[in-house]
């Protein structure tokens, strides 16, 4: 039974996100660092989305999936960084329970959908390299659209159980979340009932999503590696590997940090190390994705040059007419 004081405190519906507590100068410096990273993320991913949708040479399954990955990255980083920026610049640490749950759900929605999409992209590369002649038939437009819809729906459904469990919890205080966003593990610590069962369920669900998609990705790349090794010429092997190098780099960055945070039971507490790891997969990786795909991908480079050239030509035409 709860005491009368605890019963009154159950009305606590606002939380304080601790963020990165430090001196004011350090917080301002961090604000500009995160603002720069956020703007680079938005700019890079929006450029990829526009390029994929406007250039006729990029109307292939790989770039269709890449456009969706960029869209997920925009939502993924936008679910946490704007609030972090307001904390660093204006000391707005307070967030409502509804806002906290919404932020948490959006973060895991986009993150889960990205896990499923990365697995689909690995399968796409598997079909392209292992069955090149049948690739246009297997990965036709209809199948690609179905894959993407399934990824978005799966991402939407995956965090629902955790969200439903958390929304029904009583919060008695303290109300300080030792993180820079409303992550589920530190939020569960603030409930005034035993949440060990909920923590175990949340851990199990997170592990299922992360490890199942990671396993599918690894299996695809094992088959890809076996096929590439069978290619007689070194030039052919390099060319085949280059088609999946960017995706493999992103998979390594993303899963390496996400598995460390949500699959290892010993690292789920909200420590300073966990905050740093969370910054890598929630802020740094979405920023690096466009750079990796544009710097390592000749098709994207050529498409960007064509778009820039068309923009320059369109500006010159009015000048010539005058």
Dmax over CA atoms of the chain, in Å, equals 83
Residues 90-115 have pLDDT tens digits of 988 999 988 999 999 999 999 999 99
Average pLDDT, the chain: 85
Confidence band for 11, pLDDT divided at 50, 70 and 90:
low
Residue positions counted in the chain: 322
Neighbouring C-alpha atoms within 13 Å toward the C-beta of 193:
14
Query: Is the peptide bond between 267 and the residue preceding it cis, with omega within 30 degrees of 0?
Result: no
Q: For 113-120, what is the mean pLDDT? A: 95
The pLDDT assigned to 6 comes to 43
Query: Is it the case that residue 270 has pLDDT exceeding 60?
Result: no
Question: Of all helices (H) and strands (E), which one includes residue 94?
Answer: strand 94-96
Residues 215-268 have pLDDT tens digits of 999 999 999 989 888 888 877 777 777 777 778 888 888 898 888 888 876 544
Burial 216-247 (b: 16+ CB within 10 A, else e): bbeebbebbeebbeeeeeeeeeeebeebbebb
């Amino acid at each position: 039974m709860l005491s009368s004081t605890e019963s009154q405190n159950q009305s606590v519906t606002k939380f304080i996100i601790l963020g990165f507590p430090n001196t004011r100068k350090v917080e301002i410096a961090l604000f500009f660092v995160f603002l720069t990273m956020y703007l680079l993320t938005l700019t890079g991913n929006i450029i990829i989305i526009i390029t994929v949708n406007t250039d006729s040479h990029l109307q292939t399954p790989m770039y269709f999936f890449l456009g969706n990955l960029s869209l997920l990255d925009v939502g993924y980083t936008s679910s946490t960084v704007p609030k972090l920026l307001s904390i660093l610049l204006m000391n707005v640490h307070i967030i409502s329970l509804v806002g906290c749950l919404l932020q948490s759900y959006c973060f895991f929605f986009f993150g889960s959908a990205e896990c499923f999409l990365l697995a689909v992209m690995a399968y796409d590369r598997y079909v392209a390299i292992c069955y090149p002649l049948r690739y246009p038939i297997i990965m036709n437009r209809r199948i690609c659209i179905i894959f993407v819809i399934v990824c978005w729906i799966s991402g939407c459904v995956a965090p629902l159980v955790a969200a439903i469990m958390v929304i029904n919890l009583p919060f008695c205080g303290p109300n300080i979340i030792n993180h820079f966003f409303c992550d589920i593990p530190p939020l569960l610590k603030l409930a005034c009932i035993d949440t060990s069962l909920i923590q175990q369920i949340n851990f199990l669900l997170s592990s299922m999503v992360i490890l199942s998609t990671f396993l599918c990705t690894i299996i695809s790349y094992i088959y890809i590696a076996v096929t590439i090794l069978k290619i007689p010429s070194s030039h052919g092997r390099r060319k085949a590997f280059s088609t999946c190098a960017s995706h493999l780099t992103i998979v390594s960055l993303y899963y390496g940090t996400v598995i460390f945070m949500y699959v290892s039971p010993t690292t789920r507490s909200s420590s300073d190390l966990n905050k740093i790891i969370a910054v890598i997969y929630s802020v740094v990786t979405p920023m690096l994705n466009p750079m990796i795909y544009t710097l390592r991908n000749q098709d994207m480079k050529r498409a960007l040059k064509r778009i820039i050239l068309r923009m320059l030509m369109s500006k010159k035409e009015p000048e010539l007419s005058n």
